[in-house]
Amino acid sequence: MLTKTIKLIAIFACVILPFPTVFAQQNQTQNKQDEQSFVDFSGFKGKIFDIKNRDPRELVQILKPLGSGFKGAIMLPNNEYRTITVRDFPENIATIEEAIKRLDVPLPPKPPEPPRPAIPNIEVVAHILLTSDSESAGNSSPPALTDVIKQLQTTLNYKSYQLLTSIVQRTRYDNGSIEAKGTVVLPEKSLTGNYHLIVKNIRPEVYGQVDSSKISLGRLEFYLQGINEVENRSFGDTRIITSLSVRDGEKVVVGTASLRDKAVILVVTTKLLK
C-alpha cells in the first residue's frame, strides 16, 4: 500500500512541476520580444537645429510624431538658446529637418489696428438768466436765447428776462469736468451775485461712442449768492443740482430757483469741437 502511495505522489509531482517552467519560458520569450522592439544607440545620430522664428517648445509638439519612438530617441527644446536637439535614426532626423524648414518661418505681419477715433473737446455754455415781474428791470437777452425765452414765457409768469452772464468752458470729451466762478451785477443798485458752476463726468451718453448723439453731464452744481454791498449782507442765495443728457447744440433749461421776488434760470448748451 505504501509503495502505491509513493508512486501516485511521484506521478502527481511530474504533472505539476512543468507549469512553473512553462510560465518562466513565456516570460523570457516576452522579454526577448520587448528587447527586440528597442535598439541600442549604435544606429542613432544627433543634430542640433537652430530655431529663428518660432517657439522651440511649440515646434517640438508638432515634430514629435516624426520621431521613431524607439528607446533612446530624444527631441529636446531649449528656449534660452532657441534650439531643438534631436537624437534618432538618420532618416527620422532628415524628415524632422525638412519639417523645421517649412515650419520655422517668420509669422505673417499682423494687420494694423484700426485707428481709434480722436477724442474731441467739448464746449459747455451756461447762460444765467434773471427774471422779474417789473418791466423796468429790462428785457435784454441775446438773440440765441429768443426761442428759449418764448417757451419760458408760456410756463412762467415773469414779465422780463435779463441775461446776467454767459459762462463758456471747454474740456475733453472723456469724463471731463469744468468749474467756473465769478461775479454778476444784479438789476438793483448795490446788489451783486457770486456764482459757482461745476459740471463733472462730461462724456458720451453711450460710453465709448465719441459720436454719440447725446452728451451726459453726470453732475451739475450751480450756486448763486446775492450780496448787498452797501449793507455787506446776503441778499439771498439759490442753487441748482442735477444730472442730465443734452443733444449736441441743444439748449436745455436745467433748472429754476427763486431769489427773493425774482428767479434765476440756468440754460445749458453743449457743442462738440471736432
Is residue 16 pLDDT above 50, yes or no? no
Task: Give the pLDDT confidence score for residue 13 in this predicted structure.
Answer: 44
Q: Which residues pair with 196 in a beta bridge?
A: 181, 223
Task: Give the pLDDT confidence score for residue 5 in this predicted structure.
Answer: 47
Is residue 251 pLDDT above 50, yes or no? yes
Is the Cα torsion angle 150, 151, 157, 162 positive or negative in sign? Answer: negative
Is residue 150 pLDDT above 60, yes or no? yes
Q: What is the mean pLDDT of residues 77-82?
A: 94
Is residue 79 pLDDT above 90, yes or no? yes
Task: Give the pLDDT confidence score for residue 94 in this predicted structure.
Answer: 95
The Cα–Cα gap between 162 and 134 comes to 11
Taken in order of first residue, the domains within the chain and their CATH numbers are 43-106 (3.30.1370.120), 121-273 (no CATH)
pLDDT band of 248, cuts 50, 70, 90: confident
Residue 77's CB: how many other CB atoms inside 10 A? 19
pLDDT band of 8, cuts 50, 70, 90: very low
Q: What is the mean pLDDT of residues 146-154?
A: 87
Task: Give the pLDDT confidence score for residue 26 in this predicted structure.
Answer: 53
Q: What is the mean pLDDT of residues 198-205?
A: 89
The Cα–Cα gap between 152 and 251 comes to 12
Lowest mean pLDDT of 9-23, 98-112, 161-175, 247-261, name the range: 9-23
Q: What is the mean pLDDT of residues 63-70?
A: 93
pLDDT band of 184, cuts 50, 70, 90: confident
| Nine cell digits for residue 256 | 429754476
pLDDT band of 41, cuts 50, 70, 90: low
Task: Give the pLDDT confidence score for residue 67 in this predicted structure.
Answer: 93
Q: What is the mean pLDDT of residues 80-93?
A: 95
pLDDT band of 252, cuts 50, 70, 90: very high
Q: Are 142 and 163 in contact (CB under 8 A)?
A: yes
Task: Give the pLDDT confidence score for residue 15 in this predicted structure.
Answer: 44
* Percentage with pLDDT > 90 across the chain: 39
